[in-house]
Every structure is written in structure tokens, then in C-alpha cells.
């Protein structure tokens, strides 16, 4: 029996969830776990809750029959959190964590301290989906499960471009391709396709970006006014930080996304040697060594000055 099946075997009512503003790895893990467990235990009551799923990942739940967008008012035998580095990152789902009989966290964030009753953590993994794959029996992975796992892996590995990609990551991806999934389509959907609104927002953000610290740090800000002007949604911001990161000669990219009056969601990426997780943790956030985030209050000038004081170039 696979480890995942063993985790759920004694539970009847199960809730699967992930972090706020779910990304490809989080969504992929939740939906992959749902398909895998439903195929093995059709009699169990298995539900998935996530905040709004971005349009580009809608192919994983095309009929909208799997993911709930409102937190169920129930107590569950088993609570499984995927890809969430801390309890507060669960958002509205955190209350389900505290009321469930058994809790499990499966995650790859280096900042995760283990907030569930049972924690399966591997900060060396490319993604939570890579960890989840290791908890499954390969022969029981169907096409739907494979497509969700593959989507999560390519999302968090940047289609195998990031340094968290290992030989194991590539081997797992290859084994999922053998399930007959149209893997090329997922790469286009998750990384290259953009709506006209997303293209406009990206262009405006890059146009107003600035370089600091002898050009080794690049900073850009997305204001609420910009979002309103282009009619953009929060998911339209996804991917912009990566465009900043690949700017020639840049080591650290910083994106400030205005979420309230003098309140910013900060995303950071590094290319070679700066540990942005250390900086994010200092400011109450977390993530990975080369990709992390947090929330900060103040003017843009104050926020940028506070962050750059901690960047060692």
C-alpha cells in the first residue's frame, strides 16, 4: 500500500487544501491527490478547497466539479495541506486545520517548521508534486493524476530551468509523460500563453522598473491603479517576477504588488547566490532559497530601502 493510501485509509471525511492564492504546484498537488484517492477509495467523502483557481489552470478541473471555492462548514476526519509553508498561509482553510481529527502537511518550502500533526517535508524537492508522486503507487496513477502532477512539477521547476531541478525530477517527469499526457500543451498553458490584459500589465511593469545596486537588483511595482486601468485580476500578476529575474546581469528581482493602502505583497527571486528566503523570513514571510515572498507596509521607497539593506551582493 502506498504511503498516501495508508494516510487516508482510516478516514471517511477528507478535506484537501493548499495555500492562499494557489499556484500551479499547489493546485496540481490538490487535484492529483483527489483523483488518486478517489480512484482507490470511491466510497470516501473527499473534498478539495482552494481560493480562486487562475484561469490558466482551469483545464485541471474543466467542469468545476472538484474544487470548492467556499470553505465547507464541516469537521473532517483528515485534513491534508499541500504546498503551504505555514498555517496562516492556508487562509480561510486554517480553521479546518484546527478542527480536524488528523492533520497532515506535505510541502517542500525550506521555511516550513511543521505545523500539522504529521508532516512530510522535503526542501530538496523541486515541488510538492514531486513529493506527492513518491507517496503514490505508479501503477495507480491515471491520466488525470499524471497531468496534475506534471503541471505542478513544471510550474515550480520553471520547466526544469530552476536549480531545484534534479535527476529525480526529470525521471519523474519522464514517467508521467509515459502515461500519455499532452505535456507540451501544459507548458504552453502555464508559461507562454498570455491574455492581452496580462501582456499589457507585463509591458507596463517592465517599462516602469528600475535597477539598483550597480544593476544587480531590479525592482518593479504594480499598483492598484494599474490593475484597475487594465482590468487585471490578481492572477494576471503571475509570471512577471520571472521576466524581471532573467534580465541580464541581475542577481535579485523584487516585485511589489500593492494590495492595500501602503501595503505590498513582495515577491523575490535570485539567480545564483543570494538567499531570498532568509530575507523573507526576517520580514515574516518565507519560501525557498531562490524564490520567496512576504507582505510589508510602508511607502514604496521605504519598502525597497528596507529590503535592499538585507541584500548582500
Q: In what order do the strands lie in the sheet with 67-68?
A: 67-68, 45-49, 13-18, 78-82, 102-107, 118-121
pLDDT of residue 55: 86
The confidence score (pLDDT) of residue 56 equals 87
Tens of pLDDT along 268-299? 999 999 999 999 999 999 888 999 999 999 99
pLDDT class of 190 with cuts at 50, 70, 90: confident
pLDDT tens digits, one per residue of 112-164? 999 999 999 999 999 999 999 999 999 999 999 999 999 999 999 999 988 89
**C-alpha to C-alpha distances, 258 to 110, 209, 255, 300, nearest whole angstrom:** 26, 15, 10, 9
Asked if residue 207 lies in contact with residue 199, where contact means CB atoms within 8 angstroms, the answer is: no
Summarised one tens digit per residue, pLDDT across range 64-102 is 999 998 999 889 999 999 999 999 999 999 999 999 999
3 state SS of 205: helix
For residue range 33-65, what is the model confidence (pLDDT) as tens digits?
A: 999 999 999 999 999 999 989 888 999 999 999
Whole-number pLDDT of residue 38: 96
In this predicted structure, what is the pLDDT of residue 11?
97
- The alpha-carbon radius of gyration of the chain (Å, integer) is 19
Q: Cell for 226?
A: 494599474
Give the per-residue pLDDT at 287.
87
CB atoms within 10 A of CB 19: 24
pTM: 0.82
Residue showing cell 492533520: 103
Amino acid at each position: 500500500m502506498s504511503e498516501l493510501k495508508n494516510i487516508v485509509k482510516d478516514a471517511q471525511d477528507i478535506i484537501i487544501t493548499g495555500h492562499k492564492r494557489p499556484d500551479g504546484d499547489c493546485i496540481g498537488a490538490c487535484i492529483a491527490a483527489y483523483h488518486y484517492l478517489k480512484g482507490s477509495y470511491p466510497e470516501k467523502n473527499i473534498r478539495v478547497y482552494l481560493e480562486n483557481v487562475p484561469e490558466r489552470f482551469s483545464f485541471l478541473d474543466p467542469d468545476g466539479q472538484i474544487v470548492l471555492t467556499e470553505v465547507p462548514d464541516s469537521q473532517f476526519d483528515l485534513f491534508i495541506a499541500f504546498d503551504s509553508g505555514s498555517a496562516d498561509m492556508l487562509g480561510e482553510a486554517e480553521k479546518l486545520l484546527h478542527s480536524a481529527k488528523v492533520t497532515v502537511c506535505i510541502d517542500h518550502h525550506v521555511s516550513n517548521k511543521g505545523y500539522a500533526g504529521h508532516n512530510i517535508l522535503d526542501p530538496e524537492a523541486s515541488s510538492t508534486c514531486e513529493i506527492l508522486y513518491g507517496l503514490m503507487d505508479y501503477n495507480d496513477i491515471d491520466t488525470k493524476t499524471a497531468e496534475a502532477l506534471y503541471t505542478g512539477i513544471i510550474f515550480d521547476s520553471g520547466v526544469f530551468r530552476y536549480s531545484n531541478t534534479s535527476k529525480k525530477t526529470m525521471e519523474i517527469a519522464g514517467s508521467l509523460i509515459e502515461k500519455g499526457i499532452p505535456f507540451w500543451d501544459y507548458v504552453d498553458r502555464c508559461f507562454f500563453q498570455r491574455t492581452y490584459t496580462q501582456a499589457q500589465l507585463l509591458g507596463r511593469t517592465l517599462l516602469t522598473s528600475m535597477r539598483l545596486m550597480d544593476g544587480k537588483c531590479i525592482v518593479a511595482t504594480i499598483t492598484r491603479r494599474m490593475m484597475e486601468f487594465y482590468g487585471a485580476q490578481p492572477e494576471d500578476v503571475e509570471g512577471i517576477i520571472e521576466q524581471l529575474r532573467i534580465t541580464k546581469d541581475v542577481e535579485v528581482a523584487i516585485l511589489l504588488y500593492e494590495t492595500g493602502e501602503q501595503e505590498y505583497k513582495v515577491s523575490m527571486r535570485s539567480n545564483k547566490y543570494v538567499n531570498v528566503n532568509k530575507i523573507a523570513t526576517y520580514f515574516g514571510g518565507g519560501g525557498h532559497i531562490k524564490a520567496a515572498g512576504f507582505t510589508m507596509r510602508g511607502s514604496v521607497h521605504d519598502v525597497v530601502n528596507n529590503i535592499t539593506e538585507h541584500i548582500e551582493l
